[in-house]
Structure 1
Amino acid sequence: MSAVLEVTGGTALHGTIVPQGAKNEALQVIAATLLTEEPVTIHNIPDIADVNLLIEILADLGVSVQRHDRHSCTFQAKTIDFDYLKTQEFRKKSSRLRGIVLLAGPLLARWKRAIMPSPGGDKIGRRRLDTHLLGLQQLGATFQYENFYYLLETKELKGNYVLLDEPSVTGTANLIMAAVYAKGSTTLYHAACEPYVQQLCHMLVRMGAKISGIGSNLLTIEGVDQLGGCTHHILPDMIEIGSFIGMAAMTRGEIRIQQAGVKHLGQIPQKFRQLGIQVVIEGDDIIVPRQEHYQIQHFLDGSIPTIYDHPWPGFTPDLLSIMLVVATQARGSVLIHQKMFESRLFFVDKLLDMGARIILCDPHRAVVIGLDWEYMLRGITMSSPDIRAGVALLIAALSAEGTSIIQNVEQIDRGYESIDQRLRALGAHIRRIEV
């Protein structure tokens, strides 16, 4: 049975909310529990579909999983069942999860063999595995492709100088997890340096890994023979924090986001301020006060600004969909340039149906001409194509006049925990209907 969200818009959101744990970090650090036979306890795990699916797959693989509560688990990978990786059940489950590729590095490092399925998850454009495979090959792995799977093997992983062809977050994480057991020294250059990659590195260091250069794009990893257990706490989810900033602005409400991990947010507050939204930092909390209007800030030469994605510490691509929606009711115009994924802006047609003024220039660029509340968006029936576009459409529905129906809500559930319940606590008129 599937579900839809029924949203009656036009109500300002008010109140306090605590962000969930970071999805992207959770997938990495849970995969890293395969690197030791000792217990690893992880706290602040988001209770969302993608993360729960990965935990379920680890349990199916033979990992002992002890759930202390919805947000804390202890994992112990003494042995695993490699035959499970060849089953139809694994193929079916892994096809729903992009993060399944993160098992390759730790499996190869500890058991000398791994299976990497073709990526699942969002339909936002091509998401190639070259960075993973070529990097692992440089560490001594061989691979072949059979029946939609990459089969990887190694006699011994050996440290090497690896220049990544792109700063892929999951690619970097996979190579780090493989390199911690590689013989000798590994240098990863052009590595991703997102806070979530830093968190993975800090966790591995507590387990006994030797990693230097954390926080930069040049990592040096000295291989070790064994890793131990540890306890790890996941950061707040920066994408959810940005989503709530957008919801406050688009509903002309006022929200306090508690325990936001402000020092790990990079350019996110600055980019929302570029749209004219007040983002007030108070300790580790973010306050978005009520605003009747918000003015897009032009560049210093007076030209129309461009907001684009870029590898960290640039602006995260996962928030561009939210920025685009928020700009629809701003005062002024902005160019949104999505560089990384060629299908991520295709949800714009739904916003046009709602009355937004947007010119889709090509698959990567859209010009948004803000309505400045001259007209309200109108409620429609629409389908969520991916996690971030789904929440962007939800934000549009919260601000719209009338009732919207959002189908394929399972996409939103993959990345946002109990979103309908948490929004009702802020005053939203939203309900989940089983269909």
Structure 2
Amino acid sequence: MATFIIEGQHQLKGSIQPQGAKNEALQILCAVLLTAEEITINNIPDIVDVNKLIDLLRNLGVKITKLDKGSYTFKADEINLKYLESEAFKQDGKGLRGSIMIVGPLLARFGKGYIPKPGGDKIGRRRLDTHFEGFINLGASFRYNKEDHFYGVEAKKLKGTYMLLDEASVTGTANIVMAAVLAEGKTTIYNAACEPYLQQLCKMLNRMGAKISGIGSNMLIIDGVDSLGGTEHRMLPDMIEIGSWIGLAAMTKSELTIKNVSWKDLGLIPNVFRKLGITVEEQGDDIHIPAHTEGYEIQNFIDGSILTISDAPWPGFTPDLLSIILVVATQARGSVLIHQKMFESRLFFVDKLIDMGAKIILCDPHRATVIGHDFKSSLKATTMTSPDIRAGVSLLIAALSAKGTSTIHNIEQIDRGYENIDERLRAIGAKIKRLD
């Protein structure tokens, strides 16, 4: 188990380049299974979860060549379907939440797809019903082995249909879209997710020869085609990392520039931070955060009531940034209610912040009220353990703003989603050391 040692209360300065988007990568990489032709993908983040998926694809028989940092070619012309029923696959697949998205492409192209119950963050229930109900609607038969926690779907030929998703699941929508592009006839998906990473997947599939319309809306119409070809694709910058750097700048009273953020794909993220009183300046395609030497003040609603920040499906505010918002609020002027609607275990890391001196009332598993210190009382350094990717980075930001030297264990969780985070933070002045 690796550890970070962090010396807090140092002002940072400079610019930082966001990595490629983790959540986009997990979708796009699975899409290479839809064709035997070569696909080139650029700006792939070098993080644990993505590298695990690349290894899984390689074990499945995909020919993978690294061209440069973050750039790879993939050719799935000799897939080893026997691997799907091996013990090795059961171990490889269950260690990664994103492995569920290989099922749609495999079902569409080869008529069968299997997956062990995927792993990932322990942030609450993350059911797979939307995925498999979509496949069943397309004509697949479903089976589940309770002893092995092993799922399977099979179909001789998928048939297009109309479906209304029970939730606007991003991974569920992506999986069903990848299955439907090779189905016979027209598929209509209503209540589809429409976040930028899903739009990126649909645009890539269209370049490969798919016929998808309604991209960016909650109704996707897919006319099935017989086969798909190769293409080249570039990942968007990671919006969750961008939000993390905004929060870091505010908490450490630092002047930072976040480079090449793709402003048009950030949605509500800049405005939510502005509601906390943080100055978020647009400079071309960069974000500039000036040093908040006088702190920042939380806005109230126009009727004077306390601000509530909650998550929602896109274009609502992403749940992955609520833990960052919560940490940033601990040093604001004013109070805010954080409402985490989607996952019932994601706020449980607040006990670590309370140990550091934060004023937080955990109302229930979904809601926390934060009373800001206005920097009149610093957070105090402590020893912590990272429970998941986003909570881990939130605790890291808290440690960088705290008085004294903090220790964070289990930083493998942070490495799952953030590329070389300690090196990149040291480059802008952070005092952070990794111990293996």
| Cα offsets for 1:312-333 (capped at 9, x unmatched) | 0000000000000000000000
Residue identity opposite 2:373 in structure 1: L
What are the superposed Cα offsets for residues 374-401 of structure 1, whole Å, 9 maximum, x if unpaired?
Answer: 1100111111111000000000000000
Aligned residue for 1:362? 364
> Which runs of at least 4 in structure 1 moved beyond 3 Å after TM superposition?
none
Equivalent in the alignment of 2:88: 89
Alignment-mate amino acid for residue 241 of structure 2: E
Query: Equivalents in 1 of 2:97, 2:359: separation in Å?
Result: 33
1:120 corresponds to which residue?
119
Determine the C-alpha separation between the residues in 1 that align with 2:104 and 2:310: 31
Alignment match of 1:387 (pick from 362, 386, 389) = 389
**Structure 2 counterparts to residues 34-433 of structure 1, below 5 A:** 34-146=33-145, 147-292=148-293, 293-433=295-435
SS at match of 2:64: strand
Give the whole-Å Cα distance in 1 for the aligned partners of 2:212 and 2:356: 50
For residues 421 and 63 of structure 1, the distance between their equivalents in structure 2, rounded to whole angstroms, comes to 31
- Alignment-mate amino acid for residue 409 of structure 1: I
Q: One-letter code of the match for 2:230?
A: G
Letter in 2 for 1:233: R
| Contact kept in structure 2, 1:383 and 1:407, CA below 8 Å | yes
CA distance in structure 1 between the partners assigned to 2:76 and 2:69 by the alignment: 20
Normalization by structure 1: what TM-score? 0.99
CA contact (8 A) 2:298 2:334 kept: yes
Q: CA deviation at 1:86?
A: 2.0
| Contact 2:93 2:115 survives alignment (8 Å) | no
Structure-2-length-normalised TM-score:
0.99
| Separation in 2, partners of 1:346, 1:168 | 23
Q: Offset at 1:82?
A: 1.6
3-state SS of paired residue (2:333):
coil
Shift of 1:89: 2.1
Task: Please tell me the residue identity of whatever aligns with 1:253.
Answer: S
CA distance in 2, matches of 1:93, 1:320: 30
Equivalent pair of 2:310/2:317 in contact (CA under 8 Å) = yes
Amino acid in the other structure paired with 2:324:
I
Structure 2 residue matching 1:417: 3-state secondary structure: coil
Query: Which moves more between the two structures, 79-88 or 306-315?
Result: 79-88
> Is the 1:10–1:401 contact (alpha carbons within 8 Å) kept by the matching residues of 2?
yes
1:33 aligns to what SS in structure 2? helix
CA RMSD of aligned residues (A): 0.6
Paired-residue identity, %: 64
Helix, strand or coil for the counterpart of 2:178?
A: helix
Tell me how far 1:95 sits from its aligned partner: 1.8
Alpha-carbon separation, structure 1, partners of 2:93 and 2:114 = 11
Code of the aligned partner of 2:60: L
- Which is worse superposed, 318-327 or 82-91? 82-91
Shift of 1:59: 0.3
- The answer to whether the 8 A contact 1:119-1:127 is kept is no
CA apart distance, 1:110: 0.1
Equivalent AA in structure 2 for residue 279 of structure 1: V
Residue 205 of structure 2: SS of its match in structure 1? helix
Query: Residue 70 of structure 1: CA displacement?
Result: 2.6
CA distance in 1 between partners of 2:94 and 2:10 (Å):
38
What CA distance in whole angstroms lies between the structure 2 residues aligned with 1:112 and 1:79?
15
Instruction: Tell me the amino acid that sits aligned with residue 30 of structure 1.
Output: L
1: CA distance, partners of 2:132 / 2:91? 22
Structure 1 residue identity aligned to 2:162: Y
